[in-house]
Amino acid sequence: MDWQDDGIILSARRHGESGVIAVLLTENHGRHAGMVRGGTSATKRGILQPGNRVRAEWRGRLAEHLGAFALDPMVATAAQVMDSPLKLAGLSAAAAVAEQSLPEREPHPRVYDGFAALITTLGMEELGIAWVAAYVRWELGLLADLGFGLELESCAATGTVEQLSYVSPRSGRAVSRSAGAPYHDKLLCLPKFLGGTGLAVGDGQQDFDEDAKLRHDLAAGLALTGYFLETHVFGVHGQTSPPARARFVERFNRSDTISWGV
């Protein structure tokens, strides 16, 4: 049997003398692995970089077999962001998170579409570092697709939609500033780009310039999705967050983030 589908390279590991086992996130067939014969050649190594978009043809004698991929390149995303260490780290993180969190061969077209949109966003130089917000939204979408969507539209305690500043780590619901202030050190910050107030009580808002506020907001977003991925996705299987995501967050949190190519 065989099928054709659009896909995004998640990983590739050597198998045998010249073969490579590639893992793709496909639009209609989910996370799917297959052998790429001659995958160690210079030409195919360039295609098999995480984040690259391809047209994939899979063939196998039976559906449950590993099978083999024939891949045609569509968008060489990895090459496009090679000059930006932060973007390259973000692309690698998204690929690793998708590979580790999504069930094998289970379609998740919304996660695929979100990843494709993130790839497009990475090419928008005018966004500067704000593209990280698109990464956070993609992780939120992945959580929702796996059944762990957060409720950020109104306060869990009062029902208000005003001054939402926190997220409860227990319920995944937004909490207003007034309701959450007494417990602010136990709650997660709700970033401004997700409908929150951003900087919360105790953050010393007056000490932040606009760039610092943006970095704080984006860091809060990464911490928010990271917490729920660890708790509800990776942790339940005895796993931790993929090292590629940890490296991305570490790189982002460095004080000289703005000075890099982004």
Distance in Å from the first CA to the final CA of the chain? 43
Q: Tell me whether residue 89 is in a domain.
A: no
Using the predicted structure, report yes or no on whether residue 238 has a pLDDT greater than 80: yes
Same domain, yes or no, for 63 and 104? no
Q: Which of 49, 78, 107 represents a domain boundary (last residue)?
A: 78
pLDDT band at residue 171, thresholds of 50, 70 and 90?
Answer: very high
pLDDT digits (tens, 9 = 90+) for 93-117: 999 999 999 999 999 999 999 999 9
- CATH for 57: 2.40.50.140
Q: Tell me whether residue 91 is in a domain.
A: no
Same domain, yes or no, for 112 and 71? no
Same domain, yes or no, for 106 and 61? no
Same domain, yes or no, for 66 and 105? no
Same domain, yes or no, for 235 and 152? yes
- CATH for 125: 1.20.1440
pLDDT digits (tens, 9 = 90+) for 43-67: 899 999 999 999 999 998 888 889 9
Q: Tell me whether residue 35 is in a domain.
A: yes
Same domain, yes or no, for 36 and 127? no
Q: Which of 78, 109, 132 represents a domain boundary (last residue)?
A: 78
| One-character DSSP codes across 93-141 | HHHHHHHHHSPBT---HHHHHHHHHHHHHHT-GGGGGGHHHHHHHHHHH
Same domain, yes or no, for 128 and 233? yes
Q: Tell me whether residue 166 is in a domain.
A: yes
Same domain, yes or no, for 17 and 136? no
Q: Tell me whether residue 93 is in a domain.
A: no
Using the predicted structure, report yes or no on whether residue 257 has a pLDDT greater than 60: no
| Nearest one of 194, 10, 197, 15 to 104, comparing CA atoms | 10
Range of the domain at 49: 2-78
Using the predicted structure, report yes or no on whether residue 258 has a pLDDT greater than 50: no
